[in-house]
A and B are shown apart, each in its own frame.
Chain A
Amino acid sequence: MTSSTVADSGAAGPSTGDGPGRRSIGRAVIDAVTTANSWMVTILAILLAFVVGGVIIVLSDPGVLRRFEYFFSRPSDALEAVWESVSGAYSALLRGSILDPEDLREAIAGEEPWTEVFEPLSETLTYATPLILMGLAVALAFRAGMFNIGVEGQAVLGALTAALAGFGLSLPAGLHLVVALLAGIAGGALWGLIPGWLKARTGAHEVITTIMLNYIAGSLLLYLINLDGIHHPERNDAISKPVYDTALLPRLAGDQLRLNLGILIALLAAGGVAWLLQRSTIGFEFRAVGSNPDAARTAGMSVGKTYVLVMAFAGGLAGLGGASVLLGIATSSALTPAIIGGIGFDGITVALLGRARPWGVVLAGLLFGALRAGAPGMQAVADVPVQMVTILQALIVMFIAAPAFVKEVFRLRQSRAGALGQTLAKGWNG
C-alpha cells in the first residue's frame, strides 16, 4: 500500500510553521476547513461577499454610473441610485427565496392563494435538496482526508441508474420510489468506489481520477440517452423516456409547489452522516485516517479499506443527490445531457462553506438554495444578471478560504488567523 505517499507528498514545500512538523499541505487545507474556521469568520465572510457583490451590482448598472458623472454637483442622486440598485437587487433576492410581503398581504386579503406565499420557501428548499446531498458527499470524503471532486459524475451516475429503475421497472407506488432511490445510491457508490479503490491500490490521486470520471460519466450519459430502449421514442432530441409517476418523489405541499420529499431525505442523510462520523466505528476510522493516516495504520486500521469505503459512501450520497434531481426537480422527469448541470461542483463549495460538518452543510445548502431561488426574481425585477449569484457564491467561499483577510477587514483579534491564511493559500496540490 502506498496510499500515504500521496497524502504526504506536499510536505516537501516550506513548512507552514504552525502545525506538527510533517503536516502536508493537503492535510492542512482539510484541517483548516474542518476544524479551525470559526462561525464568526463564516458569517463575516458571507457579509463581506454581499458587500463586494453590492459594489459589483453598482458597477454593472449603467443607470447608476451615469449619475456619478455629476456626483459633485448633486451627490444625493448618485447615492440614492446606489441604494436603489443594491437594495433593489437584494430585496428581490429575499422576496424570491424567503417571503414576498406583497404576496402575504394579498393572501391575507384573500386575493391570492396561500401557495403563492410559500412558493419562495418551497423553491429554496427544492434547490437546496441536491446541494445538501452533494455537499455531504464532498464533506464526508473531506473528513477522511480525501478531495472528492467527482460529485458531478457520481450524481450523473445516480440519476442514470435511478432513471433506469424508474422507467425500466414497473412496481407499485412507494416501493418503486424506494427502488429508484436505492438504484441511484448504488450507481453513485459504484462511481465513487472506483477512485477509492484506485487510491487504495495504486495511490492514484483521487483529485485526478475523480475529475476524469466526471468526463466519463458525462459521455456515458450522452451515449446511453440516445440508445434505443432508453431514448424517448416520440422525441428526436436527446432525452430519455420519462420515469413512471410511481417512482417520483411525492410533492409535499400540493402540485403548485415543487417542494418534495427530497428535502426530508436530504436532512435524514445529514443526520445519518453526523451519526456515522460521531457515533460509529467506521466513522471513527474515517476521521482517524483523515487526521493522520500513519497513526491510523499504526493503530491497526486498514487505510486502504477506509479510502474505498468512504468514497463509496460519498458516491452513494452524490448518487442520491442525482436521483433527487431526476425524481423531484427535473420538469420532464427524464434524463437529459445536462440534467445535473454543475450542481455537483456547487456541492464542493457547499461543503467548504459548511466546514465539512453535516449540519454546516445543511445550512450552507439552504443558503445557496436561497441564492438560486432568488436569482430569477433578481434578474426579472432588478435586472441583475444571473451570474451575480454565481459571483456571490464564489466570493463567500473565497473569503472563507481567506479567513486572515476577513479578520483583517473586520479588525478581529488575530488569534488563529495567521495559520489559516497561510495554509489555505497554498492550494490543493496535497
Chain B
Amino acid sequence: MRRVRGIGITAAVMACGLVLAGCGDPPAEEEEGGSSEEAFQACMVTDTGGVDDRSFNASSWAGMQAAAEEGDNIEVDYVASENEQDYEPNLSEYAEQECGLIVAVGGLMADALTVVAEQNPDQQFAIVDALVDLPNVYSMQFNTAQSSFLAGYLAAGMSQTGVVATYGGMNIPPVTIFMDGFVQGVEHYNQTQNASVRVLGWDVASQNGTFAESFTDATQGQAITETFVGQGADVIFPVAGGAGIGTATVAQESNGSLSVIWVDIDGCVSLADYCDVFLTSVVKNISDAVRDAVLAAAEGEEGGSYIGTLENNGTFLANYRSDVPQELQDQIAQLQEQIIAGEIEITSPSQP
C-alpha cells in the first residue's frame, strides 16, 4: 500500500469532474436547511417489487410524491425491501426516525406491520391492500370487483364471438377479486340482454382458473392468450401485470379481431404503444388513496380505514376506446349507479 494509489484515486475523481465539464460557475453561497425545519415526513416501505415495478409500489410512490407537491411542507422518502425478511427491520428503522407517517405497500407486509405498529403505539402507519385493525394504522383496500363487473359487462357487450376470457398472475385475492367481478359482469349481461356469452379462465364457485404464475413473464401471457383465441375468445382481461403485455402483443397482431381490457393503471398511459387494443382499463386508484392518506396524516388524523369503490373513485373504468357504442356506455353508466346504490350485489371472497 503506497501513497501512489491515493493520488491515483484523486486523479480519477478529478478526471470525473473534467468529464462533467467542471468549469461552470458555482452558485451563491447559501445556508442549508431553510425549509425543512418543521416538515412532515412521510416514509414508505416498498415490498420486494421495488419502487419501479410499474404496479402498486410505483403507484403508491406516485401518491407520496403527489402529496409532497400538494401538501404544505411535506417531505417523502422510501426504502425498498429486497427480501420478505427485510419488512420488519425496514419498518422499525423508520419508526426510530422522525416519520410522521409510515406507509407499508402490499398485503404481504401486514404481519410485519402489525408487529412494528404494536411496538410503536405512538407512531402512525398506513398500509396498502390489507386490513390491519390497530388504532394507529390506516388501512387502504380496494373493491375492484365493482369496476371489474363493469369491465365484464363491457366485454360481453363487445364480443362478436360470444366468448371472452380472463386470467391472473397468481391465485391470490388481490388478483382474483378482479376475476370474480369480471365473470359476474358477463353473467349480468347474459341475464339482462338475454345473451349467452361464455367466460374462459375463471370459475367463481370453485375459485379456480388460468394463471400465468408470473407478473412479469409476457411469453407466458402470450401462450395463454393464444390458447384462449383458439377457443374463440375475442376480448381478454389479463390480471397479471407485465405478463399481460403478452396479451396486448397478440391483440396488436390480430388486426383488431382481439381486444384487451387492461388492469391496475390506465393502459393508454402506461403502455401507450398498445393503446388501440385496449377497450378500457380497470383502474385501481392507489396513488390518490396514498396521497390523501399522507395529507390527512399531515393534518393530524389517526388510524381508520379506506375502501376504494366506484363511489369514491377508488376504482373506476378509464376512457373507452372510440368504437364502444354509446348505448353500451350508457348501460354501463347506469350499472355503475346501481352498484353504488347497492341494487346490484357482487360477491367475491376476496372483497374487503
A386 at interface, CB cutoff 8 A: yes
A258 at interface, CB cutoff 8 A: yes
CA distance A258 to B91 in the complex (A): 14
Contact with A along B5-32 (1 / 0, CB 8 A): 1000100111011101111111100000
CA distance A222 to B1 in the complex (A): 51
Chain B residue numbers with a CB within 8 Å of A59 are 16
Chain A residue numbers with a CB within 8 Å of B23 are 70-73
A331 at interface, CB cutoff 8 A: yes
Chain B residue numbers with a CB within 8 Å of A153 are none
- Contacts A376-B90, A411-B2 given; does A336 touch B84 at CB 8 Å: yes
B119 at interface, CB cutoff 8 A: yes
B301 at interface, CB cutoff 8 A: no
Partner of A376, one of B18, B93, B111: B93
| Contacts from B to A (Cβ < 8 Å) | 1-2, 4-5, 9, 12-14, 16-18, 20-27, 43, 48, 77, 79-90, 92-94, 96-97, 107-108, 111-112, 115, 119, 170-174, 176, 213, 349-350
- Contacts A68-B16, A380-B79 given; does A331 touch B88 at CB 8 Å: yes
Cβ-defined contact, A331 with B83, below 8 A: no
Cβ-defined contact, B93 with A70, below 8 A: no
When C-beta atoms are compared, the residue in chain B nearest to A237 turns out to be B172
A226 at interface, CB cutoff 8 A: yes
Distance of A400 from chain B, by nearest CB (Å): 18
A342 at interface, CB cutoff 8 A: yes
- Contacts A338-B83, A377-B93 given; does A331 touch B22 at CB 8 Å: no
Cβ-defined contact, B115 with A331, below 8 A: yes
Cβ-defined contact, B89 with A380, below 8 A: no
- Contacts A73-B26, A238-B170, A336-B84 given; does A376 touch B89 at CB 8 Å: yes
22 residue pairs A–B, Cβ–Cβ below 8 Å: A69-B21, A70-B27, A71-B17, A71-B18, A71-B22, A73-B23, A237-B107, A237-B173, A256-B119, A258-B88, A331-B88, A336-B108, A338-B84, A341-B83, A342-B83, A373-B89, A375-B86, A379-B79, A379-B93, A380-B79, A380-B97, A390-B82
When C-beta atoms are compared, the residue in chain A nearest to B8 turns out to be A409
Could you say which of A256, A331, A332, A372 has the most chain B C-beta atoms within 10 Å of its C-beta?
Answer: A331
Cβ-defined contact, B89 with A332, below 8 A: no
Please name the 6 residue pairs, one residue from A and one from B, whose CB atoms are nearest each other, closest first. Answer: A71-B22, A71-B17, A236-B173, A376-B93, A332-B111, A379-B79
- Contacts A226-B171, A342-B83, A376-B86 given; does A70 touch B97 at CB 8 Å: no
Chain B residue numbers with a CB within 8 Å of A49 are none
Cβ-defined contact, B84 with A386, below 8 A: no
CA distance A78 to B92 in the complex (A): 34
Chain B residue numbers with a CB within 8 Å of A236 are 172-173, 176, 349-350
A295 at interface, CB cutoff 8 A: no
Chain B residue numbers with a CB within 8 Å of A385 are 80
Chain A residue numbers with a CB within 8 Å of B111 are 331-332
Cβ-defined contact, B26 with A341, below 8 A: no
CA distance A74 to B93 in the complex (A): 36
Distance of A417 from chain B, by nearest CB (Å): 15
- Contacts A330-B84, A383-B77 given; does A409 touch B5 at CB 8 Å: yes
| Contacts from A to B (Cβ < 8 Å) | 51, 55, 58-59, 65, 68-75, 77-78, 82, 96, 116, 119, 123, 127, 222, 226, 236-238, 256, 258, 325, 329-332, 336, 338-339, 341-343, 372-373, 375-377, 379-381, 383, 385-387, 389-390, 409-411
- Contacts A330-B85, A338-B84, A339-B84 given; does A73 touch B24 at CB 8 Å: yes
Chain B residue numbers with a CB within 8 Å of A336 are 84, 108
- Contacts A237-B173, A383-B77, A409-B5 given; does A69 touch B83 at CB 8 Å: no
Distance of B111 from chain A, by nearest CB (Å): 4
CA distance A343 to B86 in the complex (A): 12
Cβ-defined contact, B20 with A68, below 8 A: yes
Chain B residue numbers with a CB within 8 Å of A343 are 83, 85
Cβ-defined contact, A69 with B24, below 8 A: yes
Partner of A341, one of B1, B85, B115, B350: B85
Could you say which of A330, A336, A379 has the most chain B C-beta atoms within 10 Å of its C-beta?
Answer: A379
Cβ-defined contact, A73 with B86, below 8 A: no
Distance of B85 from chain A, by nearest CB (Å): 5
Partner of B20, one of A69, A222, A409: A69
CA distance A59 to B16 in the complex (A): 9
Distance of A328 from chain B, by nearest CB (Å): 10
CA distance A236 to B130 in the complex (A): 11
CA distance A119 to B185 in the complex (A): 52
Cβ-defined contact, A74 with B26, below 8 A: yes
CA distance A297 to B5 in the complex (A): 50
CA distance A96 to B33 in the complex (A): 25
When C-beta atoms are compared, the residue in chain A nearest to B111 turns out to be A332
Chain A residue numbers with a CB within 8 Å of B79 are 376, 379-380, 386
CA distance A68 to B16 in the complex (A): 8
Cβ-defined contact, A70 with B26, below 8 A: yes
Distance of B314 from chain A, by nearest CB (Å): 20
Cβ-defined contact, B93 with A51, below 8 A: no
- Contacts A336-B84, A373-B89 given; does A331 touch B16 at CB 8 Å: no
When C-beta atoms are compared, the residue in chain B nearest to A222 turns out to be B213
Distance of A190 from chain B, by nearest CB (Å): 24
CA distance A339 to B4 in the complex (A): 47
CA distance A51 to B2 in the complex (A): 15
Cβ-defined contact, B89 with A238, below 8 A: no
When C-beta atoms are compared, the residue in chain A nearest to B79 turns out to be A379
Distance of A368 from chain B, by nearest CB (Å): 13
Cβ-defined contact, B89 with A123, below 8 A: yes
Cβ-defined contact, B22 with A386, below 8 A: no
Cβ-defined contact, A410 with B1, below 8 A: yes
Chain A residue numbers with a CB within 8 Å of B85 are 127, 325, 329-330, 341, 343
Assuming A70-B26, A341-B85, A380-B93, what are 4 further A-B pairs, CB within 8 angstroms?
A: A65-B20, A68-B16, A71-B14, A380-B94
When C-beta atoms are compared, the residue in chain B nearest to A69 turns out to be B24
Partner of A381, one of B18, B92, B97: B97
Distance of B317 from chain A, by nearest CB (Å): 25
Chain B residue numbers with a CB within 8 Å of A82 are 13
When C-beta atoms are compared, the residue in chain B nearest to A78 turns out to be B17
Cβ-defined contact, A338 with B119, below 8 A: no
Chain B residue numbers with a CB within 8 Å of A341 are 48, 82-85
Distance of A350 from chain B, by nearest CB (Å): 15
Partner of A380, one of B12, B17, B43, B213: B43
CA distance A309 to B35 in the complex (A): 65
Cβ-defined contact, B22 with A69, below 8 A: yes
Chain A residue numbers with a CB within 8 Å of B16 are 59, 68
CA distance A59 to B174 in the complex (A): 39
Chain B residue numbers with a CB within 8 Å of A238 are 170-172
Could you say which of B5, B79, B350 has the most chain A C-beta atoms within 10 Å of its C-beta?
Answer: B79
